[in-house]
């Protein structure tokens, strides 16, 4: 049944007396106010289940507050959970290119780092003191003297044997030689040359006899040198161990529950004892002054790399990585320039977000993750292997072949939450087989929630929370009512509220600015209205210019009078941040033929597939209603006049059908009407999108050309629940300056547009002659007869 809508049907208002917002009001956490029970239930399930692969993808459109809600939910969940362990990298004294990793209780990593730093500093101070002490000097001198005595004894024995042969031992740069003795003194070289051959031969025989003794002495002296070195070394070790032994003993006792640390401390002790000259270099000339980093360089191998420090955490970590590049996510191995070369060591291993979140939760925006393919691939690898590895991306891909560090992997126990729009989820799910194995939980955020008392309370709670958190002026009850109505407007539904809290928050922030300009202590309804209007004004330049083209006659739109085969259709143009309704003139022409309904937009390749489908449906409707007793010998042409950017969607299919019925019946359509709605083959008018924009777009044109009290919009009845029109239009409807009608089917619509009954078939299967459908049927019958009696048809029959 045709019905004109009353003012209370075109916009849902809210009783401001039910609302209250005070700075002292208790506010709920964001996760309790966004109206996303389904998503939060899925999120909770994904976080509680421990099995592998149950990571979470939170899907939702921008502005629904999904990232804020997820972060808030995780923070609340994590604060009561156990803090994960610390991780430290230490030197691998056997394989320096493969640093070891040590796991400690939360907060103990920092303590261990401090203890080892103190140990190193004390060792660097105490060892030189010990080696410079009088006690060490006495022990060292005693050891050296003892060995020197043995050396002297060996030389004395050798000299005795040489003297017995008339020779003495002399030391030369070439080593030890035997020299003949003459008159108690060594023979000179000139004297030796002057000797006769027999004497030379005799001396040489005596030398050869003693050479075997000399070789034995050499071995003994070498053994003595080795013995000296070993005994001095053992003495040094004894002193060093005595000096740092109590420090190591304290550390061993303190970290007795960590076998890895006990083993590491033992390796540190052995390495220090083997490298005592690092700490004490006696009798070494003063070296030039070095940079501090150069002086500390040799001691780095005893330092601790506190890789993951959870000292300050009170629960599990929640890490949000907004820029998930490979290095930000998986860490890096830094390098520094030393003496013209780039070098690195285990102290320059730096963790990424996945290491900081180990034992907790890692949140990543999907849009940023898929931009970094190495990151996405690395994340899948880490989740599959349950290990976090620090390595260069180039090394992983085989692009880098230079020798570098290969740190030990760290066991990974992180729940990953990817936040993104549904299109990314569908693409990854369809194209990547590994994705569905690693992200088995989908938590989907809705863009709307039910308009009920509970969610209204949640809206109020959100408003109060925002005002308190950002130190904005609070809203009075009238302003809150306007915000709630704005939420319904964003949802395009009287029974829903939008969950696009980003847009709602922006309106409140802007209203706060205007309230402060007016020197008010609260935000009022007029400030909310102004914020919405000013936001639209900043973006509606294109709409104003198009409306101006209508008023100046460049763009032909009639808002009064009548015309045959002509009607005002409605479309929505979106400019990204702003959408508005645009009226378009739709015309139809008919003639005898077999072309059917020709969509000029499609023929010109300016029509989309959905629009073409809508046009084809019109043929089915005409055939069912008018071609049961005769052929449909019709060629009808439809076009959106002055349309240069293309058409898609089926929301104008009812409009086009009205134009065809008018052209066939030759009954004019009232041009002060604009129409929207799709139609099916049975003539039922179906719901469309953007109904508020469409009505407001036609109203703006009518207002610009002058309201005459007749202008109206015809919409599907099923779209009444979507009406949240501007208050200006509500007032115009209330004053009778503008009208909105709803219809269920084409017959109801054509009656409103023409003022003539559509007509129903009688018992004889005929429509009343004075009805629209009767006139259409008569016209189609006449066209069929003319077609049948045309010369071409008669010739075809004769030929047949």
Active centre residues (catalytic): 651, 694
Tell me the H-state helices in 53-107. Answer: 66-78
Beta strand pairing call for 361-365 and 318-320: parallel
In the three-class reduction of DSSP (H, G, I as helix; E, B as strand; rest coil), residue 443 is classed as strand
Distances (CA, A) of 298 to 89, 120, 291: 17, 12, 13
Distance CA 306, CA 137 (A): 40
Nearest Cα neighbor of 276 from 120, 83, 127, 464 is: 127
Structure-token pair, residue 608 = 């989309």
Nearest Cα neighbor of 270 from 295, 250, 296, 244 is: 244
Distance CA 126, CA 135 (A): 14
Q: Find where tokens 């075809």 sit.
A: 796
* 446 and 501 Cβ atoms separated by less than 8 Å: no
Distance CA 3, CA 719 (A): 13
* 466 and 502 Cβ atoms separated by less than 8 Å: no
Distance CA 94, CA 108 (A): 25
Distances (CA, A) of 148 to 227, 257, 637: 11, 49, 122
Nearest Cα neighbor of 453 from 400, 421, 497 is: 497
Distance CA 531, CA 743 (A): 35
Burial 154-167, CB ≥16 within 10 A → b, else e: ebeebeebbeebeb
Structure-token pair, residue 729 = 């239009």
In the three-class reduction of DSSP (H, G, I as helix; E, B as strand; rest coil), residue 637 is classed as strand
List, in order, residues 6 or more apart from 360 with CB less than 8 Å away.
78, 84, 316, 317, 318, 319, 414, 415
In the three-class reduction of DSSP (H, G, I as helix; E, B as strand; rest coil), residue 191 is classed as helix
Tell me the H-state helices in 573-722. Answer: 600-603, 609-626, 653-665, 691-705
Distance CA 335, CA 351 (A): 14
What's the first-to-final CA gap in the chain, in angstroms?
50
């Amino acid at each position: 049944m045709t019905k004109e809508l009353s003012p209370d049907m075109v916009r849902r208002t809210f009783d401001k007396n039910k609302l209250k917002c005070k700075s002292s009001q208790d506010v709920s956490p964001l996760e309790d106010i966004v109206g996303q029970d389904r998503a939060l239930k899925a999120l909770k399930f994904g976080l509680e289940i421990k099995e592998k692969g149950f990571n979470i993808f939170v899907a939702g459109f921008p502005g629904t507050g999904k990232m804020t809600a997820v972060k808030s939910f995780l923070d609340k969940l994590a604060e009561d959970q156990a803090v994960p362990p610390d991780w430290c990298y230490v030197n691998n004294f056997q394989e320096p290119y493969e640093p070891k990793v040590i796991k400690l209780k939360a907060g103990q990593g920092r303590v261990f780092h401090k203890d080892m730093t103190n140990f190193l500093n004390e060792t660097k101070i105490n060892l030189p003191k010990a080696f410079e002490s009088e006690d060490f000097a006495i022990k060292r001198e005693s050891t050296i003297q003892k060995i020197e005595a043995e050396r002297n004894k060996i030389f004395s024995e050798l000299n005795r044997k040489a003297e017995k042969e008339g020779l003495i031992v002399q030391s030369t740069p070439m080593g030890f030689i035997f020299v003949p003795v003459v008159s108690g003194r060594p023979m000179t070289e000139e004297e030796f040359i002057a000797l006769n051959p027999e004497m030379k031969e005799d001396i040489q025989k005596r030398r050869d006899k003693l050479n075997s003794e000399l070789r034995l002495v050499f071995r003994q002296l070498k053994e003595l040198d080795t013995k000296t070195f070993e005994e001095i070394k053992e003495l040094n070790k004894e002193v060093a161990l005595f000096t740092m032994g109590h420090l190591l003993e304290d550390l061993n006792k303190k970290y007795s529950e960590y076998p890895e640390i006990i083993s590491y401390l033992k390796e540190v002790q052995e390495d220090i004892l083997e490298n005592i000259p690092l700490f004490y270099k006696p009798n070494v000339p003063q070296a030039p002054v070095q940079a501090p980093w150069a002086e500390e360089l040799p001691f780095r191998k005893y330092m601790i790399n506190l890789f993951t420090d959870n000292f300050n955490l009170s629960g599990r970590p929640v890490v949000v990585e907004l820029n998930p590049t490979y290095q930000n996510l998986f860490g890096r191995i830094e390098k520094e320039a030393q003496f013209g070369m780039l070098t690195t060591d285990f102290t320059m291993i730096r963790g990424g977000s996945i290491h900081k979140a180990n034992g907790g939760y890692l949140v990543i925006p999907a849009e940023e993750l898929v931009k970094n393919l190495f990151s996405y691939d690395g994340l899948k690898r880490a989740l599959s292997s349950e290990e976090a590895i620090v390595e260069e991306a180039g090394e992983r891909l085989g692009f880098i072949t230079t020798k570098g560090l290969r740190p030990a992997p760290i066991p990974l126990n992180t729940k990953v939450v990817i936040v993104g729009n549904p299109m990314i989820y569908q693409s990854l799910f369809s194209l990547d087989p590994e994705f569905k194995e690693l992200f088995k939980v989908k938590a989907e955020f809705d863009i709307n929630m039910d308009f009920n008392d509970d969610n209204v309370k949640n809206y109020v709670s959100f408003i109060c929370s925002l005002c308190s958190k950002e130190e904005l002026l609070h809203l009075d009850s009238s302003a809150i009512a306007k915000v709630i109505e704005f939420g319904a407007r964003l949802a395009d539904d009287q029974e829903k509220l939008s969950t696009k809290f980003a847009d709602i928050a922006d309106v409140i922030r802007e209203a706060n600015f205007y309230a402060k300009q007016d020197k008010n202590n609260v935000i009022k309804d007029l400030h909310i209205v102004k914020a919405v209007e000013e936001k639209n004004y900043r973006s509606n330049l294109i709409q104003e210019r198009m409306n101006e083209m209508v008023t100046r006659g460049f763009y032909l739109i009639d808002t009064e009078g009548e015309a045959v085969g002509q009607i005002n259709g409605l479309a929505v143009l979106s400019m990204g941040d702003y959408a508005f309704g645009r009226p378009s003139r739709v015309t139809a022409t008919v003639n005898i033929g077999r072309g059917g309904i020709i969509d000029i937009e499609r023929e010109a390749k300016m029509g989309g597939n959905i629009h073409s489908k809508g046009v084809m449906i019109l043929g089915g409707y005409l055939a069912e209603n008018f071609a049961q007793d005769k052929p449909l010998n019709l060629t009808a042409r439809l076009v959106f006049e002055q349309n240069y950017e293309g058409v898609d969607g089926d929301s104008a299919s009812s409009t086009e059908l009205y134009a065809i019925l008018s052209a066939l019946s030759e009954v004019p359509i009232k041009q002060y009407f604009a129409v929207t709605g799709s139609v099916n083959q049975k003539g039922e008018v179906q719901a469309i999108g953007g109904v508020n924009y469409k009505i407001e777009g036609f109203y703006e044109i009518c207002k610009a050309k002058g309201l005459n009290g007749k202008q109206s919009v015809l919409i599907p009845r099923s779209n009444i629940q979507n009406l949240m029109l501007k208050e200006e239009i509500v007032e115009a409807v209330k004053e009778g300056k503008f009208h909105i009608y709803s219809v269920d089917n084409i017959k109801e619509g054509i009656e409103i547009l023409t003022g003539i009954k559509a007509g129903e078939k009688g018992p004889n299967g005929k429509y009343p002659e004075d009805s629209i459908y009767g006139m259409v049927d008569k016209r189609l019958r006449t066209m069929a007869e003319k077609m049948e009696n045309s010369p071409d048809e008669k010739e075809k029959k004769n030929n047949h």
